Amino acid sequence: MTFNGNTSNLVLEQKILGSKKTSNLIIGSAVSIGGLGFILASVSSFLGKDLLPLGHPSTLIFVPQGLIMGLYGIAAILLSLYLWALVTIDYGGGFNRFDKNSGLITINRRALFKTIQVDIAIKDVTAIKLEVRDGLNPKRNISLRVKGRKDIPITRVGEPIPLIQLEKQGAELARFIGVNLESQ
């Protein structure tokens, strides 16, 4: 999450990173290459001709080895298409906009086939909540405490934010909106 603008203005906008991350690009590439390799090995065993520079897949018996490799390859290609679709649309990406002029907080995220937008009145926010849980499944979130609603998380999903950065962002946001900062 990055802060654009400064707190002396009346609008604060935070850009939220979605699935367009280097790790997703690497995983998508690896799954695509692996799936293509399995398909080429399957076709090589069917044709009896080596289509891959590594090993000798033409020596494999097509039924069952080559056939199973082809099915693995098709599954990997379908998975890679899904991963590339998520990266292309930047699934989970969006922005948080805190506008004192209009008195609204706008939370916007990209989903698979639509964009989700939630508008909240600034006056309904009672606090900014920091959640920190370490262990096997660490969790570090910034949430909005809103009257009459559940807490609304405003940080991205994925790897936990460093603690110092989480505290800094939470404090800056609480100062900007004019509410208390709570921790859990």
* Domain annotation for the chain: domains and CATH numbers: 2-18+91-183 (2.30.29), 23-89 (no CATH)
Q: So what's the pLDDT on residue 7?
A: 45
Question: Across 5-113, where does the E strand assignment appear?
Answer: 11-16, 94-99, 104-110
Q: Give the position of tokens 């639509």.
A: 114
Biggest CA-to-CA distance, the chain: 72
Which residues are CB-contacts of 119 (< 8 A; sequence separation ≥ 6)? 104, 105, 106, 107
Whole-number Å distance between alpha carbons of 90 and 8: 31
User: What band does 137 get if pLDDT is binned at 50, 70 and 90?
Assistant: confident
Tell me if 61 sits within 8 A of 34, measured CB to CB.
no
More confident residue, 4 or 19: 19
* Section 118-124 average pLDDT: 95
Q: Which of 43-47, 74-78, 133-137 has the lowest mean pLDDT?
A: 133-137
pTM of the model as a whole: 0.79
pLDDT of 2 strictly over 50: no
* Section 153-166 average pLDDT: 86
Tell me if 34 sits within 8 A of 10, measured CB to CB.
no
> What b/e string do you get for 145-159 counting C-beta neighbours within 10 Å, with b at 16 or more?
bbeeeebbebbbeee
Q: So what's the pLDDT on residue 4?
A: 53
